[in-house]
C-alpha cells in the first residue's frame, strides 16, 4: 500500500473531492504542503471553497483529468471499476488509496487520534467533542462529517497532537484507522447493501474495538445489546456510558425546556453529580453528550470547560437545524435517514413548540427503504402528517422494485395521513397550502430534501 509521508509532500489527486470527508482530507494535505487537485460531478459550495483555497477542481468524469504529474490518487467509496478516471489511474500505474486508508495514514501523524464510531450520532458527538477541545485550547485537528459553525466548515488543522474524526462502518472503512481512543455510540442494522445482517455489523465493530492499543481506551455505550461481547478480551481500557445506572457515565433527572433542549444530572466516577445543560433537543443528545464527557475526562480536560462548551453548542448543519419561519409555521431540517434516527428526531420535536407536526421525508437509497419499510412507517407515524417524495438513489440504481408509494401505503395503514409527490415542486406547493400558523415542518433525509424548506423560505 502506498504510504503518505508528511515530510515529503507529493501531488495527490482526489476522485470525488466534493464529498464532506474527502474535501476535509484534501484540505489537510493542502495545508501540509501537498499539491492537491481533484474532480467531482458538479460545482458545489464545498468545491468552490476548495478552489478559493488554491486547490484545482475539475468537473465531470474524464480520463483527461488524470495527468502524468500525479503521484498518488485517493478514491471515494462511490467510485467503481468502470469509472473513467479510475481506469486511467490504473492504466498509468498511479498508486491509489481509499478515503479510509488515507484517513488512517493521517491519524498516524498525531499523538492522540480519536475516532467516533456508531450507527447514529457520529457527527453530533464528534462536534460536541470538537467544541470541548476548542474550549480547552488544545488546538486540535478536526475532521467532521458535517458543517460546524464555530470553525466555518468541516475541517480544522491544528498544531497539537490531537486528531478527532468520525469513523464510519460502511464498507468497513473504520478498520483502516489507528485510534488511541475509540468510541462506539450504538450498533444497529444499517447499510445492508454491504453487511449481511446485524451479527455481521457487530463483528465489524468488534474488529474496530480490537484496533485500540494496550495503552488506549474504548468508550462504549452500555445501552448496546450484549455490549460485553464487543469488549471481551480487549487489552485496552474500557469506559462505559449510557442510560443504565451501572454505566461509568450515566444521566438522571433528564428535563426539557420550552424549546425541547435537554438538561440532565451527570453521574461519573470520582466526581460529584453535576447538572449538564444542552442547547440541542432530544434524549439522543443526552446520550451523545455522555460519550463526549467521558472522552473529555479521559483527556484530562477541565470539567468546567467541557460543560461550558456543551452549553454553547447549538448543533451542526442538518441536525435539527432551525431554518426559519414562513407564514407562521417553523421549518427545521434534519439529516435523519434511518428509522432510529427518525424516531429520535420526531420525539425531540414533540417537546418543541407546535400545533401540528409535519414531516417532509425523502427516503435514502432503495436498499435501506426496502430493508426497513415497516420500521420507517412506524417511525414516521410519530408525526401528525407525513409527506413523501421520491427515493434519493445516492450510490444505487432502482433495481429492487421499491418506491415511496409503498412507504406511503405502510404509513397510512398505521392511521397517519401521508401524501406522496414525485417532484419537489408539487410537495412544496402542497406544504405551502396546508401548513398553517403555529405548525412545525421538519424536512428530513440524507439527500437534498433541505431544498424544499429553503425554497419555502425564499432562500
pLDDT at position 364 over 80: yes
C-alpha cell at 363: 427516503
Mean pLDDT, residues 73-83 taken together: 89
Mean pLDDT, residues 250-270 taken together: 94
The model's pLDDT over 328-339, given as tens digits with 9 standing for 90+, comes to: 999 999 999 999
Cα distances from 368 to residues 174, 363, 374, in angstroms, run 21, 8, 11
Mean pLDDT, residues 340-356 taken together: 93
Per the residue annotation, which of 47, 76, 119, 123 is the catalytic one?
A: 123
C-alpha cell at 450: 433541505
Looking at residue 258, its pLDDT comes to 87
The model's pLDDT over 145-154, given as tens digits with 9 standing for 90+, comes to: 888 889 988 8
Per the residue annotation, which of 131, 166, 189, 341 is the catalytic one?
A: 166
In the chain, % of residues over pLDDT 90: 85
Looking at residue 367, its pLDDT comes to 92
Mean pLDDT, residues 293-309 taken together: 97
Looking at residue 80, its pLDDT comes to 87
Looking at residue 304, its pLDDT comes to 95
Looking at residue 300, its pLDDT comes to 96
C-alpha cell at 248: 461509568
pLDDT at position 199 over 80: yes
The model's pLDDT over 91-128, given as tens digits with 9 standing for 90+, comes to: 999 999 999 999 999 999 899 999 999 999 999 999 99
pLDDT at position 186 over 90: yes
Per the residue annotation, which of 47, 76, 122, 217 is the catalytic one?
A: 122
Note if 428 is an active site residue.
no
Looking at residue 400, its pLDDT comes to 84
Q: Measuring CA to CA, which residue among 350, 131, 186, 358 is closest to residue 262?
A: 350
The model's pLDDT over 375-414, given as tens digits with 9 standing for 90+, comes to: 999 999 999 999 999 999 987 888 888 999 999 999 999 9
Looking at residue 396, its pLDDT comes to 82
Note if 122 is an active site residue.
yes
The model's pLDDT over 8-41, given as tens digits with 9 standing for 90+, comes to: 999 999 999 998 889 989 999 999 999 999 999 9
Looking at residue 57, its pLDDT comes to 97
Q: What is the pTM of this model?
A: 0.86
pLDDT band at residue 51 under the 50/70/90 scheme: very high
Looking at residue 328, its pLDDT comes to 94
Looking at residue 149, its pLDDT comes to 87
CB within 8 Å of 48: residues ≥ 6 apart = none
Looking at residue 397, its pLDDT comes to 82
C-alpha cell at 297: 475526562
pLDDT band at residue 316 under the 50/70/90 scheme: confident
- What's the rounded Cα separation, in Å, for the pair 331 and 78? 31
Note if 166 is an active site residue.
yes
pLDDT at position 61 over 80: yes
pLDDT band at residue 49 under the 50/70/90 scheme: very high
pLDDT at position 89 over 80: yes
Three-class SS string for the chain? CCCCCCCCCCEEEEECCCCHHHHHHHHHHHHCCCEEEEEECCCCHHHHHHHHCCCEEEECCCHHHCCCCCCEEEECCCCCCCCHHHHHHHHCCCCEEEHHHHHHHHHCCCCEEEEEECCCCHHHHHHHHHHHHHHCCCCCEEEEEEEEHHHCEEEECCCCCEEEEEECCHHHHHHHCCCCEEEECCCCCCCCCCCCCHHHHHHHHHHHHCCCCCCCEEEEECCCCCCHHHHCCCCCEEEEEECCCCCCEEEEEEEECCCCEEEEEEEECCEEEEEEEEEEECHHHHHHHHHHHHHHHHCCCCHHHHHHHHHHCCCCCCCCEEEEEECCEEEEEECCCCHHHHHHHHHHHHCCCCCCEEEEECCECHHHHHHCHHHHHHHHCCCCEEEECCCECCCCCCCCCCCHHHHHHHHHHCCCEEEECCCHHHHHHHHHHHCCCCCEEEEECCCCCHHHHHHHCCC
pLDDT band at residue 315 under the 50/70/90 scheme: confident
- Cβ pair 281, 261 in contact under 8 A: yes
Mean pLDDT, residues 288-310 taken together: 97
Summary mean pLDDT of the chain: 94
Amino acid at each position: 500500500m502506498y504510504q503518505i509521508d508528511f515530510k515529503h509532500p507529493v501531488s495527490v489527486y482526489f476522485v470525488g473531492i466534493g464529498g464532506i470527508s474527502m474535501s476535509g482530507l484534501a484540505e489537510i494535505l493542502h495545508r501540509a504542503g501537498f499539491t492537491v487537485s481533484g474532480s467531482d460531478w458538479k460545482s458545489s459550495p464545498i468545491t468552490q471553497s476548495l478552489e478559493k483555497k488554491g486547490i484545482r477542481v475539475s468537473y465531470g468524469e474524464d480520463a483527461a483529468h488524470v495527468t502524468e504529474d500525479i503521484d498518488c490518487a485517493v478514491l471515494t467509496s462511490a467510485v467503481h471499476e468502470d469509472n473513467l478516471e479510475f481506469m486511467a489511474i490504473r492504466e498509468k500505474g498511479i498508486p491509489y488509496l481509499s478515503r479510509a486508508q488515507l484517513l488512517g495514514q493521517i491519524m498516524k501523524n498525531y499523538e492522540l487520534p480519536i475516532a467516533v464510531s456508531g450507527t447514529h450520532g457520529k457527527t453530533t458527538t464528534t462536534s460536541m467533542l470538537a467544541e470541548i477541545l476548542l474550549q480547552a485550547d488544545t488546538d486540535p485537528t478536526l475532521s467532521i462529517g458535517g458543517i460546524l459553525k464555530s470553525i466555518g466548515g468541516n475541517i480544522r488543522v491544528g498544531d497539537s497532537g490531537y486528531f478527532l474524526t468520525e469513523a464510519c462502518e460502511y464498507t468497513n472503512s473504520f478498520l483502516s484507522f489507528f485510534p488511541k481512543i475509540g468510541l462506539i455510540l450504538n450498533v444497529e442494522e444499517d447499510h445492508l447493501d454491504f453487511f449481511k445482517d446485524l451479527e455481521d455489523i457487530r463483528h465489524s465493530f468488534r474488529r474496530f474495538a480490537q484496533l485500540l492499543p494496550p495503552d488506549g481506551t474504548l468508550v462504549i455505550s452500555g445501552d448496546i445489546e450484549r455490549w460485553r461481547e464487543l469488549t471481551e478480551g480487549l487489552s485496552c481500557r474500557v469506559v462505559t456510558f449510557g442510560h443504565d445506572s451501572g454505566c461509568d457515565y450515566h444521566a438522571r433527572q433528564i428535563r426539557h425546556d420550552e424549546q425541547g433542549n435537554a438538561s440532565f444530572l451527570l453521574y461519573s466516577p470520582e466526581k460529584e453529580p453535576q447538572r449538564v445543560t444542552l442547547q440541542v433537543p432530544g434524549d439522543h443528545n443526552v446520550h451523545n453528550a455522555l460519550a463526549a464527557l467521558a472522552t473529555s475526562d479521559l483527556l484530562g480536560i477541565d470539567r468546567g470547560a467541557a460543560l461550558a462548551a456543551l452549553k454553547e453548542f447549538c448543533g451542526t448543519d442538518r441536525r435539527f437545524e432551525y431554518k426559519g419561519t414562513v407564514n407562521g409555521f417553523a421549518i427545521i431540517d434534519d439529516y435523519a435517514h434511518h428509522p432510529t434516527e427518525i424516531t429520535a428526531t420526531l420525539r425531540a420535536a414533540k417537546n418543541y413548540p407546535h400545533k401540528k407536526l409535519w414531516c417532509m421525508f425523502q427516503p435514502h437509497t432503495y436498499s435501506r427503504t426496502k430493508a426497513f419499510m415497516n420500521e420507517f412507517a412506524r417511525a414516521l407515524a410519530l408525526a401528525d402528517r407525513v409527506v413523501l417524495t421520491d427515493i434519493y438513489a445516492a450510490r444505487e440504481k432502482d433495481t429492487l422494485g421499491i418506491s415511496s408509494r409503498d412507504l406511503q401505503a405502510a404509513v397510512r395503514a398505521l392511521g397517519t395521513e401521508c401524501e406522496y409527490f414525485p417532484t419537489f415542486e408539487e410537495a412544496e406547493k402542497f406544504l405551502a397550502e396546508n401548513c398553517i400558523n403555529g405548525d412545525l415542518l421538519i424536512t428530513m433525509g440524507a439527500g437534498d430534501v433541505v431544498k424544499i424548506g429553503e425554497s419555502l423560505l425564499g432562500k
